[in-house]
A and B are shown apart, each in its own frame.
Chain A
């Protein structure tokens, strides 16, 4: 490209058709997917121009019938009105749902690459941009990472407009706002901030807007790009922004005063502020009977404890505190470990590493092969490794229990792996005291985190009766009368009897 990128925003159309087309071609370079279709009005040969679009992203029928045909056939009377021709054509001739004009060639090209059609006119320094988008997208599918038995079965797709429409269908109130940003110097990705105006705190909206405008990046390909750039604790191994693929979850969070961020090309949405407690909540808690929902939530807390603690506690007990293990069990463990050459801690590290290898390979491989890998890993490898006396059978059981337990809180997958290894390391050095030190360190650390100004551990230990209603358990819906006070304070009531 002959024109420097930094110069592009400063360019403008000259109003001379041949020059403007040449400019566009120069910017576009060798991109042969962009079509230049010249036209001349049938009734007035002086009205000439060029329709420019990319064949990859457009609806050809719309361009033929609603853009090109009207341009060929419109009456020259329009020209005689004395107003700028581009404005008149946009207003009276082009028959698409969204039409605008612009003077910057670079903006015009960006529009072309989101599926719009650009019309250049001779003797007119403005381009008309008409909506003609048509994308090949997958249809709205079922959630893959947040599947549920009850409740809605739809998940976000890669198209931001579809995602917003899914949300709009759930929140029909006029106070639901969508504010668009363009992020990514090259990718020019559309990012949408969504919130309910009379519920979300203004300070929160302002903070997110400010943070979205404080960086310059080449491209944004996923919500995680945004999450890492705008969260309170970007270096933390603990995520302080929520990610979901479910429109109902986003809607529920907006109703609590949170904001959602959508990124074009990603079937996930970010929500903020995010609390540690939310890792243990699932949409299904609210769709089940509240007794069962509460039980499931408690089960998730327990599973988190098991997933992070069991290896550390086990190694601490068999290496330092054998007297705490019942004698019969200790004899059984001693028998199985009799021929194992490695120290218990190293054995556990090896097994956990192997488990993570298997899990990762199962996820990355195609589903059919992934299942085979899991089966081979779980049965053949497990059996063989015990027979070869590399690890003991009890270790396999411990790691398997940890693995199963960690699946109950998928949002904490990364945190569980880190914390589990930390606790195992400390336990293998200091026994149960090391484990206790690790737990205190982790508790202190997550207590120091914030998510957009809100304490990350808010409601984890509820200090008020209201705070405890939707924390470790979920009480009956009629008792959930107020929104979370830690997140928003201006519109508290969410339920009352008429």
Chain B
């Protein structure tokens, strides 16, 4: 009996001293799937996407504004019938004009309760975040999240979560945030916004993002566009790749070893011809991107090192053709 009393006292004491600090009932909260943030006239506008619990409407968008993100979210409490729960927010769409003050914004976001740094960041290119969220009937944040999942193999458009952004900036000084655009009322992933030293330095196209991924070992695969040769055309799927970068006495070296599988072959092409086409394309595209990065001062997007000279970098590319989909070795 004494032990039972001790146990009961322990449980009571625990409940009084430690319990219930972060307790919340699910039906008193509103789940947040994602949000869009824009800045207009020194005012931060936040559009919060929440799934509805009714069958008629898939989602609702709560629009709020304030002097800062935190202020805007706090103002949402007077609009929303329930407390917002950010634990399951997956995508945060940012307006282009917020890229220049991203550090302040992310700091404000991460200080909010229930917000975890695994929210994927997306930049609305050529439009604002609110328009992106309002494109279509469904939940756009979920669509974007699913697009990233669909691109999981190609690695052309990879989700960049907040913690990944910090890690990449720490490692390379440069990070690329995926961009989303609207065309004919439909949203699509259009490339990446380069952030160099906390400031926006330009945009990359989808192909450039893929080339960057090949060099920086970020991507595990992907598709190359249709390449034309003398005897026909071919497009490839990247099966495996290994990128090595090193500084040399004369400059830098990038060596790439890539295994390609012919995804579509038109005409009579030998494996050797395919290999040459693939090597030529990757080498040229890498060179072009190096030149562009140097010309437009995008920053060290290939993570070659602080003293990297992008104008004086040699590229070595070796392509192997896999016969998985019918090509020759």
The residues of A with any CB-CB pair to B shorter than 8 Å are: 235, 318-320, 322-323, 327, 330-331, 333-335, 337-340, 343-344, 425-426, 429-431, 434, 437, 441
Q: Do A323 and B87 form a contact, CB below 8 Å, given A425-B11, A429-B14, A437-B14? A: yes
CA separation between A426 and B7, bound complex, in Å? 12
Q: What distance in Å separates the Cβ of B238 from its nearest Cβ neighbour in chain A?
A: 31
B88 and A330 contact, CB distance less than 8 A: yes
Q: Do A333 and B11 form a contact, CB below 8 Å, given A323-B116, A430-B19? A: no
Q: What distance in Å separates the Cβ of B177 from its nearest Cβ neighbour in chain A?
A: 22
B27 and A338 contact, CB distance less than 8 A: yes
Near A by CB (< 8 A), chain B positions 1-31 give: 1, 3, 7, 11, 14-15, 18-20, 22-27, 29, 31
Q: Do A334 and B53 form a contact, CB below 8 Å, given A327-B88, A426-B11, A430-B14? A: yes
Sampled A-B contacts (18; CB under 8 Å): A235-B1, A318-B26, A320-B24, A322-B29, A327-B33, A327-B88, A330-B26, A334-B27, A334-B31, A337-B27, A338-B53, A340-B27, A425-B11, A429-B20, A430-B19, A434-B14, A434-B19, A441-B7
CB closest residue in chain B, given A422:
B11
A330 proximity list for chain B (CB < 8 A): 26, 31, 88
Closest 9 CB pairs of A and B: A323-B87, A429-B19, A429-B15, A327-B88, A335-B53, A337-B27, A338-B53, A331-B51, A318-B26
Interface membership of B85, Cβ < 8 A: yes
A320 and B88 contact, CB distance less than 8 A: no
Q: Do A323 and B88 form a contact, CB below 8 Å, given A337-B27, A338-B53? A: yes
B20 proximity list for chain A (CB < 8 A): 429
Interface membership of B90, Cβ < 8 A: yes
B87 and A322 contact, CB distance less than 8 A: yes
The residues of B with any CB-CB pair to A shorter than 8 Å are: 1, 3, 7, 11, 14-15, 18-20, 22-27, 29, 31, 33, 51, 53, 85, 87-88, 90, 114, 116
| Given A235-B1, A333-B26, 12 additional A-B pairs, CB 8 A | A319-B23, A319-B25, A322-B24, A323-B88, A323-B114, A323-B116, A327-B33, A331-B53, A426-B11, A429-B11, A430-B15, A431-B22
B26 and A334 contact, CB distance less than 8 A: yes
A322 and B85 contact, CB distance less than 8 A: yes
CB closest residue in chain A, given B85:
A322
CB closest residue in chain A, given B2:
A235
A320 proximity list for chain B (CB < 8 A): 22-24
B88 and A337 contact, CB distance less than 8 A: no
A339 proximity list for chain B (CB < 8 A): 27
Q: What distance in Å separates the Cβ of A104 from its nearest Cβ neighbour in chain B?
A: 42
B26 and A322 contact, CB distance less than 8 A: yes
Partner of A344, one of B19, B26, B116: B26
Q: What distance in Å separates the Cβ of A147 from its nearest Cβ neighbour in chain B?
A: 35
A235 proximity list for chain B (CB < 8 A): 1, 3
CA separation between A330 and B114, bound complex, in Å? 15
Q: What distance in Å separates the Cβ of A215 from its nearest Cβ neighbour in chain B?
A: 20
B22 proximity list for chain A (CB < 8 A): 320, 431
Q: What distance in Å separates the Cβ of B149 from its nearest Cβ neighbour in chain A?
A: 13
CA separation between A323 and B1, bound complex, in Å? 40
A327 proximity list for chain B (CB < 8 A): 31, 33, 88, 90
CA separation between A217 and B297, bound complex, in Å? 95
CA separation between A434 and B53, bound complex, in Å? 30
Q: Do A331 and B26 form a contact, CB below 8 Å, given A426-B11, A429-B20? A: no
- How many A-B pairs with Cβ below 8 Å? 64
Q: What distance in Å separates the Cβ of A332 from its nearest Cβ neighbour in chain B?
A: 10
A337 proximity list for chain B (CB < 8 A): 26-27
CA separation between A338 and B28, bound complex, in Å? 8
A318 proximity list for chain B (CB < 8 A): 26
B114 proximity list for chain A (CB < 8 A): 323
Q: What distance in Å separates the Cβ of A95 from its nearest Cβ neighbour in chain B?
A: 58
A331 proximity list for chain B (CB < 8 A): 31, 51, 53
B88 and A344 contact, CB distance less than 8 A: no
Q: What distance in Å separates the Cβ of A418 from its nearest Cβ neighbour in chain B?
A: 11
CA separation between A318 and B25, bound complex, in Å? 7
CA separation between A431 and B19, bound complex, in Å? 8
A343 proximity list for chain B (CB < 8 A): 25
Q: What distance in Å separates the Cβ of A117 from its nearest Cβ neighbour in chain B?
A: 49
B19 proximity list for chain A (CB < 8 A): 429-430, 434
CA separation between A254 and B187, bound complex, in Å? 75
Q: What distance in Å separates the Cβ of A439 from its nearest Cβ neighbour in chain B?
A: 14
CB closest residue in chain A, given B51:
A331
CB closest residue in chain A, given B12:
A429
B90 proximity list for chain A (CB < 8 A): 327
CB closest residue in chain A, given B20:
A429
B53 proximity list for chain A (CB < 8 A): 331, 334-335, 338
Q: What distance in Å separates the Cβ of A462 from its nearest Cβ neighbour in chain B?
A: 29
Which of B26, B90, B114 is packed against the most chain A CB atoms within 10 Å? B26
B88 proximity list for chain A (CB < 8 A): 322-323, 327, 330
CA separation between A334 and B27, bound complex, in Å? 6
Q: What distance in Å separates the Cβ of A443 from its nearest Cβ neighbour in chain B?
A: 14
B33 proximity list for chain A (CB < 8 A): 327
Q: What distance in Å separates the Cβ of B108 from its nearest Cβ neighbour in chain A?
A: 20
B1 proximity list for chain A (CB < 8 A): 235
Q: What distance in Å separates the Cβ of B310 from its nearest Cβ neighbour in chain A?
A: 42
CA separation between A430 and B12, bound complex, in Å? 11
Q: What distance in Å separates the Cβ of A434 from its nearest Cβ neighbour in chain B?
A: 8
Which of B11, B24, B31, B90 is packed against the most chain A CB atoms within 10 Å? B11
A344 proximity list for chain B (CB < 8 A): 25-26
Q: What distance in Å separates the Cβ of B146 from its nearest Cβ neighbour in chain A?
A: 12
CA separation between A323 and B29, bound complex, in Å? 13
B27 proximity list for chain A (CB < 8 A): 334, 337-340
A426 proximity list for chain B (CB < 8 A): 11, 14
CB closest residue in chain B, given A339:
B27
A334 proximity list for chain B (CB < 8 A): 26-27, 29, 31, 53
B31 and A430 contact, CB distance less than 8 A: no
A441 proximity list for chain B (CB < 8 A): 7
Q: What distance in Å separates the Cβ of B155 from its nearest Cβ neighbour in chain A?
A: 24
CB closest residue in chain A, given B118:
A323
B23 proximity list for chain A (CB < 8 A): 319-320, 431
CA separation between A430 and B16, bound complex, in Å? 10
Q: What distance in Å separates the Cβ of B130 from its nearest Cβ neighbour in chain A?
A: 22
A333 proximity list for chain B (CB < 8 A): 26
CA separation between A335 and B56, bound complex, in Å? 13
CA separation between A330 and B89, bound complex, in Å? 12
Which of A331, A338, A344, A426 is packed against the most chain B CB atoms within 10 Å? A331
Q: What distance in Å separates the Cβ of B190 from its nearest Cβ neighbour in chain A?
A: 26
B87 proximity list for chain A (CB < 8 A): 322-323
CA separation between A207 and B7, bound complex, in Å? 31
CA separation between A425 and B26, bound complex, in Å? 18
CA separation between A441 and B31, bound complex, in Å? 35
CA separation between A188 and B208, bound complex, in Å? 94
CB closest residue in chain B, given A335:
B53
A437 proximity list for chain B (CB < 8 A): 14
A323 proximity list for chain B (CB < 8 A): 87-88, 114, 116
